[in-house]
Each structure stands twice: as structure tokens, then as C-alpha cells.
Structure 1
Amino acid sequence: MKRADYDVIIVGARAAGASLGILLGRQGKKVLLIDKAAFPSDTLSTHHLSHLNYLKQLGVLEEIEKGGLRKITRMRTYIGDSLMEGPRQSYTMAPRRDFLDYTLLKHALEYPQIEVLEKTRVDGLVWDSDRVFGVDVVHNNGERSKIYGELVVGADGMRSRVAEWVQAEKYNDLPALRPVFYGYYEGVHPLEEPATEIFLQDGRIGFLFPMEPGRDCLGLEIHPEEFKDFTRNPQPMFEHYYSQFYRMDIRLKQAKLQGRITGGAGVENFFRTPYGKGWALIGDAAHSKDPSTGLGINDAFLQSFLLAEAIDQYSKGADWKQSMERFQQQRDMQLMPAYQLTLDYIQSVRPWSEKERTFINTIAANPIVWNKLTPHLPELLEHHTKDSPLLWKAVKQEAESLMKGV
């Protein structure tokens, strides 16, 4: 077998792949990033950065902050006409993916041993017996070539071809549960202080992420039986249901859609076995869940850091299988709680009962009572709302968010 051209070949050069490239660059690894897109390039996303500490560790926070983004300092949850709001312990942002991904990729390419192939399709894997040893690519001019690497990392999204080729096993998986649609709108009447906004009404979920001034990412999860009507006439249907959320009929009066409404029948929920002989998976290729909690980018960064650590340990003489088993265990331990919460939350979303509305209205109507109750909400709600799973999940999540700034 031919000698390896690279220490690591990463298929996919967006947030997961580019962040891994940065970390491996610091280790002195010779890395090739391959992507079918040409950067900068946008992609469907909630854009929400749950924790900015990852950007700081990757060395790109300052550049992202200079991108003209609004700093999101609060969280709001609307349950029908009731509102609960609290400050975050630290601000966050929602950057465009063409800006975020390109910034990460540029930073990775500052390391002289890091290279990128854009407009290049990976069409298969190169095998050495039962071990992956490279990729078969189709270049932009149509020419094919084989590129050899000691490790191939699939960072190529939820429908990962790398995962398909290595037959990575799924576990704890559920099919897509709720159709989801997105739109970028300019001119949405802003809040006085930028906030992540979540709307729960009539069994639908809306979310609003402030991006740069004048631009917001609006998301809407609907009932599965509404999907066909949405696909026939997405913009009018999207705006019809979104306008039913609290005061959004007023806030959307001067708003204009940028581009088009995009989305689909929903997002698959799964973990995949993230490694094997000569290969590994990160990002949505390794773990995917419903986007309503806005954790996708954060999860991608976490996996990049964990995999980079495992690769570094292996390079220093640790056993490959043991290093990767530890990587998988750490990944699952850190991601499984939010995964289960997301699934419970999505599966329990339904129209509110009168009892639940009364309970929420009582708390939300009095900020002083809300602030005093916040530290005690978990135990109070667990005792008083056992017959209302959705109420418990929604308010518990809000309480914990306020206390932890997550």
C-alpha cells in the first residue's frame, strides 16, 4: 500500500471539520480538509452558539465578535401569552454560517501543514484490507484521484457518506419527530435587549435567534400532519403560524423574507459509533438531534476537542482502541443528557390544558414571585406538576437556564 500523504484527512470543512483542523494544526499534524462547497458558503442552521468559550479556545472569538453580530444577553420563553425571561450568565451570538465556517477554515489554514480542497467530492474510501487508508475524490474538473491518509474523519453531516461507507452503527436513535422550517427575515421589530426567544403554542414550537442588526433567524416546528400544506406554500404558511405567537403579528409587519423558507420533514435523532480502523466521525455525522434546543454547533465543537485529544494521545503512544473508546464514552456522557431532554421535550409538546395555562400565567405575571421561586422551581414543579410532563420539562428547563446561564 502507498505511503500516507496526510496524517488526517477530514471530509467536511465546516464548523466540525474546520475546528478539528485548527486543533490538529496545533499538534503539528499534516491535515487535508475536503469539501464539496467553495467557501465562504452558507448552510441551513440555527446559527446559535451555546457557549463562546469554544471560539475563544479556537482563537477566533475576537474575529467573530468583530463581525457586527448582536450580543444575545437574555433568554425568553413564551407559553401562549405568558412570558418568562431571565439574563444569561454570559452573552452569546448567532453568526451566519458562511461567516463562522469561513473564519474557522481561514484560521486552520494559517498552519502551513494544513491544506484544503474545495469543490471536491469524496466518492468513496480507500481500504487497506479491513482498514480505511484514504479517500477516492472527484475534483472540480472531473478528474479522479486517490488520496492516502492514516486517519479519515467524517465531518460530512447528518447524512454522512463516510458513516455509510464504514457502516457506522446507530444507537439510541429515533426518526425525525417534527417537521422544521427556517427563514431569514430582515426588519423584525427587535426587543430592547437581544434575547433568544422560544415560543410554545398549540403544540408548535417557534424560535428566534438575533443575528446581525436587522436580521433574525426564525424557526418553526409544526405538526407532522401540516407538512404537506407547508411544502405546497411554505412562506404564507410559515408567516401565518409564526404570526400567532405572542405579539409576532405586530413584530413581523415590516419584516421581509431574505431568500426563501427552507426545511423538511425533520431531523433524525441518533448517536453513531464514532470510530473504527482508520476512521472517525464528528459533528452531525456522529450525533444528531432535533434543532429546537439549538445545540448543534456547540456539540460539533465539543466532539472536535474530544477527538483531537484522543488523536494526540494515540500519537504519543496510547493504544488506538483504548483512546477511541474513551473518546466515545466522554462524548456520550457529555451529550446524552441534552439529547434525552430534547427528545422528551419534543415528544411531549402538545396544546396546553387550562390548568397548565393558569399555572404558568400565575408565575409569569409576577416577576418578584418568579425571581423568588426560581431557586426552588425544580423541587416545587416536580411535586406539583407530575401530571403535566410538558409543563414540567418547559419550566424546569427555563429555571435551570436562568440559574446556570446555559
Structure 2
Amino acid sequence: MRVHAVMSGKYDVVIVGARVAGSSLAILLGQMGKKVLLLDKAKFPSDTLSTHFMSHTGFLKKLGVLEQLEESGLRKVTRMRTYIGSSFIEGPRTSYTIIPKRDQLDSVLIEKALEFPTVTFKPKTSARALLWNGNKVTGIRVEENGGEEEIHAGLVVGADGKNSNIAHWAGAKMYKQTEPLRPVIYGYFEGVEPLREPTTEIFLHEGRIGFVFPMEPGRDCLGMEIHPDEFRTMMHQPELSFKQTFDQLYGMAERMKESRLLGKIIGTPGMPNFFREAYDHGWALLGDAGHSKDPSTGLGINDAFLQSFLFADALKQIDNGTPWSEAMSEYARKRDEQLLPGFQMTLDYIQSLKKWTENEVALFQSIAANPMVWNKLVPKLSGHIKKDTEDFPLFYQSLKMEAEHFGYKKES
């Protein structure tokens, strides 16, 4: 990983956290000529807990990294398949996606940011405290190689995750808070028998959600959201428990016969669901630091990119003469306006999993057996289904979510 030498003087922006949210913002600010310090306590390249999923590649293209990621050998995922028990529905996506490992994605974004001479990157550097002048943040104190340093900046951005120190030190309040709902476990496997075309697979089985995300040829990310009371037991013998549980999903026991786990099973007892205050004098929050939710709908990476673009636009408005408070208030409003539907959809989706009726399962199976019905139904779902007025509310709610987020389109 290339690291620029530290530049002297005051920075326009210090970004704490160099994963997707922080590194993408550094790219956008580098394009604007801002003097930026990007720092992270981790070394790079390194992996991090993630859903890995992106619903489309549009943000990657705008950031100028799509071609490099595609040339690394990632498969273009063009289809989506959803299983309930032994029935499934499959269709093409409205646009393809790619699914890189996070050590790869984050490193590519950091390297892109460092193409701009005004961007500096310091890995293995920990934030220790905010610097204040009255009620305004004026910089940050960091620790690197056992020594501490005070760094002054016009703005400190916390892109340091759901347990953000920047948010804690700044006193950013949470709202719309819901405690973690579901544990998540996943791992990288080689040798899983693939489908004919690269396909994102979602399994709804006995209240669990299984995922198969194709990465490079021969390697897949397999994940599962499980019941809360299963997590502790499964993590005692994670590899064995994961395979035994995944083998229960339709067709996976046969497809995993020759598979091998790469590395170890990764797990978390759950992700908190919240929004945080987005900014105040001299500081702002980005990515999971400002907004977090259950990973079942795979929105985290896209949400982080979205926030970076919205935030960079707000700084452009400030450069063009818009007052700080006005531009940042509009950033916060747009952030919540665009992220709230996905937040509520995710909570509804997770909380509905145990509530499907026998009639809803039967309806799914009948539609799955008749692709012509599916092709006519899905294009009509987006924006038109009201869960409180349907005879099969949870069934239609789930299909509507998939039509809107995962990108189904009508077969030609």
C-alpha cells in the first residue's frame, strides 16, 4: 500500500476511517483540490466485517475504480434467485454488479485517492481525542507509532463505523434507534458448484436468511442471518455449524461437497439500527458512523457511497458561497430522506420472516412454478404494493423489496 509523506500545515479535512465511506470521500475531495488527511487504525490491505453486496456499479464508475476492479477477475453478477424452502424464483437484474472482498475494494479506493497530490493517507494511526475551540471542533489528536500528535483542520469527518469515537466525543445523538435484530455469520469458500450464470442467491428457510454471493471464479461469499439464540452455540464450532446449517438450504449440500473454507467463519451477534446527528460545528459523520442497519438487505456499501457523494456536494455548495449551516442542514435532510425508506424496509423485512402464513408460502410456490406470472407481477410491484391492504401482506412486501433493491427486470 503506497503512503504519502505527511504534509505540513493545516488540513481542509481530516477523515477518520479509510474504508468505503472515508476513502470514497477522499477521492471526491481530492478531485476538488482539498487538502485531505485520511487516517485509519488498521493496516491495509485488510479485511473487515461486511455484507460485500452492491446493488449496482454506478458509484464505482463515478469514482473511477470500476475498470480496475473488473480487471481483477471478478465475475459480473447478472441474475438474482430467491428460494423459499424448495421453491425458487429467478430473473435477470436490471444492471450487473460485482462482489469484491473488502481488502480489495478498500485498497483500490485508497490507491485512487492517493492519485491526488493533496490527499495524504496514514494507516495504523488511531484517533485519541477531538480538539476544540469553544463549541467548535478544530482538529484531532492522534497516536502513531507510540507517539501523539495534534492535527488541525477546518473539518473532522468521522467515518469510523457504528461505534464511532468521533460521534461519541462530539456528543452526536441517535434517533430511530432499534437494537440489533439478527446475528450474521459468513465465510469465503472455494469449490462451491456454481449456477450456469453468476447469480446472487437468497434463501429464506425456517426463519433464517442464507446468501451466496459470487466473487472470482471458484470463490464465493456464503453468509447467513440466524436466530439470536443460535449464535453462541454456532460460534463454538463455527465451520462445522455453518456447513451443517447451510446444507439445509435447497441444493446446497450437493453443491458444497467439494468446497473448502478459505480462512475462518466470521460472525457478529447483530448490527444496531439507528441514525445519528449528521454534523455540528467543525465535525460531520459518514457511513455507519451516521447510519447503521441490519445487513439482511445488503445496503451498507451503497449507503456509504451515497453519503460520500451527498457530503461532497454540500462542501461544493459551501465553496460556492452557501452558508455552512444551510448546506449541512440540507445534507442531513437529503441523507435521511434517501436512507429512511431502506431503513424501514429492512426492519419490516427482518421482523416479518417468522410470520409467513401457509397461504403465503403456497402462493409463492404457485408463482415460482409459473414464470409467466412472475414476469408479469414483478414489474408492477415497485411503488404500488400497500402491505396493509393486501391479502398476502408479507409475501408481497418481500417481493416488492427484492424488485426495488435487488434489481429484477422482466424477462425479454
How high is the TM-score relative to the length of structure 1? 0.95
Determine the structure 1 residue equivalent to 2:16: 11
Determine the structure 2 residue equivalent to 1:125: 130
Match of 2:312 among 308, 318, 342: 308
CA apart distance, 1:279: 0.2
Give the Cα–Cα distance (whole angstroms) in 1 for the partners of residues 44 and 371 of structure 2. Answer: 46
Give the Cα–Cα distance (whole angstroms) in 2 for the partners of residues 404 and 317 of structure 1. Answer: 46
Match of 1:197 among 186, 201, 205: 201
Match of 1:289 among 288, 293, 307: 293
1:49 aligns with 2:59: no
Determine the structure 1 residue equivalent to 2:370: 366
Query: Alignment partner of 2:248: what SS?
Result: coil
Verify the 8 A CA contact 1:202 1:351 in the aligned structure 2: no
Verify the 8 A CA contact 2:379 2:410 in the aligned structure 1: no
1:213 is aligned with what amino acid? P
Verify the 8 A CA contact 1:9 1:32 in the aligned structure 2: yes
Q: Which runs of 5+ in 1 are unaligned?
A: none
CA apart distance, 1:305: 0.5
Query: Alignment partner of 1:280: what SS?
Result: strand
- 1:390–1:236 Cα change, 3 Å: farther
Farther off after superposition, 27-36 or 388-397:
388-397
CA apart distance, 1:214: 1.0
CA apart distance, 1:312: 1.6
1:79 is aligned with what amino acid? I
Query: Alignment partner of 2:314: what SS?
Result: helix
- 1:166–1:384 Cα change, 3 Å: closer
Q: Which runs of 5+ in 2 are unaligned?
A: 1-7
Verify the 8 A CA contact 1:80 1:246 in the aligned structure 2: yes
Name the count of aligned residue pairs.
402
How high is the TM-score relative to the length of structure 2? 0.93
Match of 2:235 among 224, 231, 236: 231
Q: What whole-Å deviation, never above 9, does each CA across 1:339-384 have from its counterpart, x for those lacking one? A: 1101100011116433222111110011122223333457997589
Match of 2:408 among 393, 402, 405: 402
Match of 1:26 among 31, 48, 63: 31
2:408 is aligned with what amino acid? L
Superposition map of 1:113-262 within 5 A = 113-139=118-144, 141-262=145-266
Query: Alignment partner of 1:68: what SS?
Result: coil
Verify the 8 A CA contact 1:132 1:278 in the aligned structure 2: yes
1:95 is aligned with what amino acid? P
2:267 is aligned with what amino acid? G
Query: Alignment partner of 1:350: what SS?
Result: helix
Q: What whole-Å deviation, never above 9, does each CA across 1:300-320 have from its counterpart, x for those lacking one? A: 010000111111211222111
Verify the 8 A CA contact 1:46 1:209 in the aligned structure 2: no
1:192 is aligned with what amino acid? R
Give the Cα–Cα distance (whole angstroms) in 2 for the partners of residues 340 and 352 of structure 1. Answer: 19
Give the Cα–Cα distance (whole angstroms) in 1 for the partners of residues 165 and 388 of structure 2. Answer: 47
Q: What whole-Å deviation, never above 9, does each CA across 1:97-153 have from its counterpart, x for those lacking one? A: 1111111111111111110111111111111111111111110x2011111101000
Determine the structure 1 residue equivalent to 2:3: none
Give the Cα–Cα distance (whole angstroms) in 2 for the partners of residues 59 and 384 of structure 1. Answer: 43
Q: What whole-Å deviation, never above 9, does each CA across 1:39-93 have from its counterpart, x for those lacking one? A: 2111121211222111111111111111110000011111111111111121100
1:339 aligns with 2:337: no
Q: Percent identity?
A: 56
CA apart distance, 1:37: 1.4
Give the Cα–Cα distance (whole angstroms) in 1 for the partners of residues 294 and 260 of structure 2. Answer: 26
Determine the structure 2 residue equivalent to 1:40: 45
